Structure 1
Amino acid sequence: MHRFPRTFLLSCLLLATVGLVRVYGWNKATHMVTGAIAYRDLQASSPQTLSRIVAILKKHPDYQQRWSAKLADPTLSEDEKNQYLFMLAARWPDDIRGQAQYDHQSWHYINYVYAPEQNIARTDTTLATGETILQAFGMNQQILRSNAPDSAKAIAVCWLFHLTGDVHMPLHTTALIDQQFPQGDRGGNLFKIKVMMSNQTINLHSFWDGMLLGADDFRSVSNLAVQLRQVISRMQLVQLGRADINTWSKESFQLAQDNAYRSNTLPAGTDQDGAILPADYVDTVKPIAQRQVALAGYRLADELKADLSD
Structure 2
Amino acid sequence: MRRSQFITSLCLILFCSTSVFAWNDLGHMTIARIAYDQLTDGERAGVISILRHHPHLHDVILKDRPSQVTASEWIFLRAATWPDHIRPPREQTRAPISSHSIYRYHHPHWHYVNYRIRPGQLDTELPAQPMPQFPKPSNPSEQTNLIDQLDQSYLILRGKAQETSHPEIELTQHEIRAIRMCWLFHLIGDIHQPLHVVAFVDPQLPFLKHGDEGGNKLGIRINHASKPRKLHTVWDDMLGTHSRYQDVVNLSERLSHDPRLSVSRLPEYAQNRLSTEFAEESYQIAVEAIYMNGRLPYTPWSKVESHEVAPESVPAVSPQWISQAHTIAERRVVLAGYRLAARLKYLIAHDPASRESIREYEMPAYRSSYRGRTFR
- Give the TM-score of the pair, scaled to structure 1: 0.84
The 2-side partners of 1:298 and 1:119 are apart by 30
1:74 alignment partner, SS class: coil
- In the alignment, does 2:110 pair up with 1:86? no
Matches within 5 A, 1:105-124: 105-117=108-120, 122-124=126-128
1:175 alignment partner, SS class: strand
Shift, 1:68, TM fit: 3.3
Give the conservation status (yes or no) of the 8 Å contact 1:110–1:133: yes
Give the conservation status (yes or no) of the 8 Å contact 1:34–1:296: yes
- Name which of 119, 126, 132 aligns with 2:130: 126
Give the conservation status (yes or no) of the 8 Å contact 1:215–1:221: no
- Name which of 241, 250, 257 aligns with 2:287: 257
Give the conservation status (yes or no) of the 8 Å contact 1:93–1:159: yes
In 2 relative to 1, CA 132–69 (structure 1 residues): closer, same or farther, beyond 3 Å?
closer
Q: Which amino acid aligns with 1:237?
A: L
- Name which of 336, 340, 343 aligns with 1:303: 343
- In the alignment, does 2:39 pair up with 1:62? no
Q: Which amino acid aligns with 2:109?
A: S
- Name which of 106, 128, 140 aligns with 2:153: 140
The 1-side partners of 2:346 and 2:28 are apart by 21
- In the alignment, does 2:330 pair up with 1:290? yes
Q: Which amino acid aligns with 2:285?
A: L
Larger relative contact order (Cα-Cα within 8 Å, sequence gap ≥ 6): 2
Q: Where in structure 2 are there 5+ consecutive unaligned residues?
A: 1-21, 89-96, 99-103, 134-142, 161-171, 351-376
Give the conservation status (yes or no) of the 8 Å contact 1:113–1:125: no
1:161 alignment partner, SS class: helix
Shift, 1:69, TM fit: 4.5
The 2-side partners of 1:40 and 1:125 are apart by 36
2:86 equivalent in structure 1: 96
In 2 relative to 1, CA 68–266 (structure 1 residues): closer, same or farther, beyond 3 Å?
closer
2:62 alignment partner, SS class: helix
The 2-side partners of 1:52 and 1:214 are apart by 31
In 2 relative to 1, CA 69–264 (structure 1 residues): closer, same or farther, beyond 3 Å?
closer
Query: Pairwise CA RMSD of aligned residues?
Result: 2.0
Point out the structure with max Rg over C-alpha: 2
2:129 alignment partner, SS class: strand
- Name which of 215, 222, 228 aligns with 1:201: 228
Percentage of identical aligned residues: 31
The 2-side partners of 1:155 and 1:139 are apart by 12
The 1-side partners of 2:42 and 2:290 are apart by 39
Question: Deviation digits for residues 250-303 of structure 1, max 9, x if unmatched?
Answer: 110011011111222211124234211112211111010011011001000101
In 2 relative to 1, CA 52–260 (structure 1 residues): closer, same or farther, beyond 3 Å?
same
- In the alignment, does 2:47 pair up with 1:34? no
Q: Where in structure 1 are there 5+ consecutive unaligned residues?
A: 1-24
Q: Which amino acid aligns with 1:243?
A: R
Q: How many residues align?
A: 279
2:190 equivalent in structure 1: 166
The 2-side partners of 1:287 and 1:204 are apart by 17
Q: Which amino acid aligns with 1:26?
A: W
Give the conservation status (yes or no) of the 8 Å contact 2:53–2:174: yes
2:317 equivalent in structure 1: 277
Larger displacement relative to structure 2 (266-275 or 187-196): 266-275
